[in-house]
Amino acid sequence: MARLRLDHALLSRVLREAELQRTRLGTRSEEARAVLGEALRYFADYAHEHHHPREDLLYARLAKVRPDLADQLRGLGREHAAEATRARALVASLNALPDERPPVRSLARFARELQAYIDATRAHMRHEERAVFYAGIEPALPDEDWQALCSEVVPDDPLEDAAQLKRRYPRLATALAEPIREVSGTAVDLPTATDPGTRSLVALKDGADELVETYTELLDEGLALLRHNVASIWGAPTALDAVDALPDVGRRSYQFASRCVTAPTRVVLDCATRMVMPFVAGRATASDE
């Protein structure tokens, strides 16, 4: 479990770097594409070829002793396959871009596909961490299962070894070693157009995509919560235990209801800000002139 948790922490670093390089596609296209190429290769080589199979081995054994998690674990396995397919498609899209002066529309499309992959991967990892990694499932598996899992020969994350990282992913290693000087940008930073109206429309499109992702995640959380609440009540050994479980059911339901309000609202407000900013920036530039 410690191994998987560390993997997620390191994967998150690369996701953050990929998101940052995405915002540089318009201003430093060649450099950003070089780093993104290695980041995507890292996802394909390690995350999808070694990390996810390691998780799948755990989930297969865990499903046998935790039937209440079986549906979620199967869903996580399906997401692994979908993420791997999306990563391969991104590699193909990046390689298909011409070396010099790639079309603005092609860059913008790739940037949207990349952000969708990043968002989906983050949502997937949050789901895993909530349902498995930090849910105290260790006692559910007997020692022989853990021994069998640990005996599987799976390479460790190259991000743990600076020399290996620099040898295999030199540009990514250099980017990760730099101090954080920027906050990940938004679609406004992409070179979809120079006029404020078009940039605002792109921000609207990205905001709509993010809103769909948010509602998809909330739906997934809601179904998982429903299963958990039902199991807490109907799985109680006595009626008194079922009554005792009600406060926790209410607390979890309230927290989820709050997220259903705040998460979409945050996305909408952020989208509105991104839509307005091109006009504000344009007005400020005109005033300076």
State residue 190's pLDDT score: 43
Full-model pTM? 0.62
Nearest 5°: CA angle at 11, between 182 and 263?
A: 65
CATH entry 1.20.120.520 includes domain 1-185: yes
State residue 132's pLDDT score: 92
> Mean pLDDT of successive 10-residue segments in the chain (289 residues)?
88 91 85 93 90 93 92 92 91 87 81 90 92 90 92 80 88 82 43 63 75 74 81 82 84 85 83 78 55
CA distance to 50, 139, 148, 178, per residue, from 43 (Å) = 10, 31, 26, 20
State residue 118's pLDDT score: 92
In the chain, where the domains are located? 1-185, 188-289
* Helix, strand, coil percentages in the chain from 3-state DSSP, rounded to 5: 85, 0, 15
Complete DSSP assignment for 150-204: HHS--PPPGGG-HHHHHHH-HHHHHHHHS--------GGGSTT-SSHHHHHHHHH
Longest Cα–Cα distance in the chain: 76
| Burial (Cβ within 10 Å: 0-12, 13-18, ≥19) of residue 63 | middle
Cα dihedral across residues 265, 271, 277, 279: positive or negative: negative
179: tokens are 């101090």
State residue 192's pLDDT score: 42
State residue 269's pLDDT score: 83
Contacts (Cβ under 8 Å, ≥6 apart) of 189: 23, 24, 26, 27
